């Protein structure tokens, strides 16, 4: 618990009003709700693992093993509560909060220090970790939607975020010219790439799936991803882009697109990887690690093998994203 109150809570901090809730209220609630307690312990152990000396593989594995054990226990307890307990004004925001805890855990956990030791770390790609994280963040917002009045009346900073930290489109003017040109490609590509056929004649055309832009969750995801770059420049909300799925309030299309490696979902995620990479330099955001760079590597390689790579804007977007995270150009990789 000391690890949580001294350091781990930093990673979930967004606004100044978050501190009291994360550092004091949440641990206190853990004393009465075991899924919160074990969720906190899981993140604290994972925090310790990620910041432990890389060469001390035994220590890293020990912390990660503890993190997985705590998380498995917390998840089981959370499911039991959702199945058997009556959700109340006092528990709704905490049930929603667990979705955020699970989202950060799935984003940050990896098997990169397993070294074939057989400790049971599931090998997952960065994209799969992001997919699992998105599902958890979406679960958080769906829980909150059970009763918005109760949720906004909880101890979190959610109400303040909505009332005072709403999107300000004038911030888009602060983005530098090169970045603005790069993120505009999200919009042009969204209007060019078709999704897989849905089987719905109202959406499909000539045996092809709908244009990405015509699917609401994709259109919103593009707009929100572009806006994340503005918030990154302003810096008023720490880790703003992490809760992208909840800000989009997107349907299942984006999550399914990540799972199936849908080219448009991969192109959006490519830019999200750049944003995540920007978090890695912030000492508070301990969970960032190399996930942003890893996402750019994986998405660019998938896109390079897809028909979408024929689009100049896709190729230019890949080149820009790889440069932002310190990777060589695709042509050099292919060669």
Rounded Cα distance, 261 and 299, in Å: 8
Token match 């040109």: residue? 181
Check whether 86 has a pLDDT greater than 70. Answer: yes
pLDDT at residue 34 is higher than 90: yes
Res. 116 pLDDT band, cuts 50 70 90: very low
Q: How far apart, in whole angstroms, are the C-alpha atoms of residue 7 and residue 103?
A: 18
Given a cut of 50, whether residue 190 has pLDDT beyond it is yes
pLDDT on residue 167: 82
Residues in the chain: 335
Whether pLDDT at 191 is above 70: yes
Across 30-34, 133-137, 191-195, least confident range: 133-137
SS3 114: coil
**Nearest CA to 322 among 306, 286, 298?**
298
Q: How far is CA 21 from CA 2, 10, 77, in A?
A: 16, 12, 22
- pTM comes to 0.90
pLDDT in tens, 163-185: 887 788 999 999 999 999 999 99
Q: Is 194 exposed, middle or buried (0-12, 13-18, 19+ CB in 10 A)?
A: middle
For 211-222, the pLDDT digits (tens) are 999 988 899 999
pLDDT of residue 248 exceeding 70: no
pLDDT value at 257 more than 80: yes
Mean pLDDT for all residues in the chain = 88
- Dist CA 302 CA 297 (whole Å): 9
């Amino acid at each position: 618990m000391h690890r949580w109150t001294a350091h781990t809570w930093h990673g979930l901090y967004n606004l100044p009003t978050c501190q009291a809730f994360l550092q004091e209220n949440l641990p206190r609630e853990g004393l009465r709700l075991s899924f919160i307690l074990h969720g906190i312990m899981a993140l604290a152990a994972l925090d310790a693992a990620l910041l432990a000396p890389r060469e001390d593989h035994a220590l890293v594995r020990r912390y990660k093993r503890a993190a997985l054990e705590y998380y498995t226990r917390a998840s089981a307890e959370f499911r039991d509560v959702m199945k058997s307990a009556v959700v109340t004004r006092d528990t709704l925001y905490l049930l929603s909060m667990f979705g955020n805890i699970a989202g950060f855990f799935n984003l940050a956990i990896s098997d990169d220090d397993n070294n074939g030791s057989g400790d049971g770390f599931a090998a997952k790609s960065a994209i799969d970790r992001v997919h699992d994280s998105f599902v958890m963040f979406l679960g958080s917002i769906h829980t909150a939607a059970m009763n918005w009045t109760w949720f906004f009346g909880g101890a979190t900073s959610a109400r303040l975020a909505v009332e005072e930290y709403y999107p300000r489109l004038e911030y888009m003017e602060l983005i530098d010219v090169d970045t603005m040109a790069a993120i505009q490609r999200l919009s042009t590509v969204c209007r060019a790439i078709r999704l897989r056929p849905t089987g719905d004649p109202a959406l499909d055309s000539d045996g092809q799936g709908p244009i990405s832009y015509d699917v609401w969750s994709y259109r919103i995801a593009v707009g929100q991803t572009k806006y994340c770059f503005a918030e990154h420049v302003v810096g008023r909300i720490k880790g703003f882009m992490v809760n992208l799925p909840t800000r989009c309030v997107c349907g299942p299309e984006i999550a399914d697109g990540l799972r199936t490696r849908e080219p448009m979902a991969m192109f959006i995620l490519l830019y999200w990887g750049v944003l995540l990479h920007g978090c890695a330099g912030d000492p508070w955001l301990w969970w960032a690690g190399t996930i942003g760079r890893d996402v750019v590597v994986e998405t660019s390689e998938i896109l390079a093998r897809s028909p979408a790579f024929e689009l100049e804007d896709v190729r230019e977007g890949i080149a820009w994203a790889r440069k932002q995270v310190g990777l060589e150009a695709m042509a050099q990789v292919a060669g």
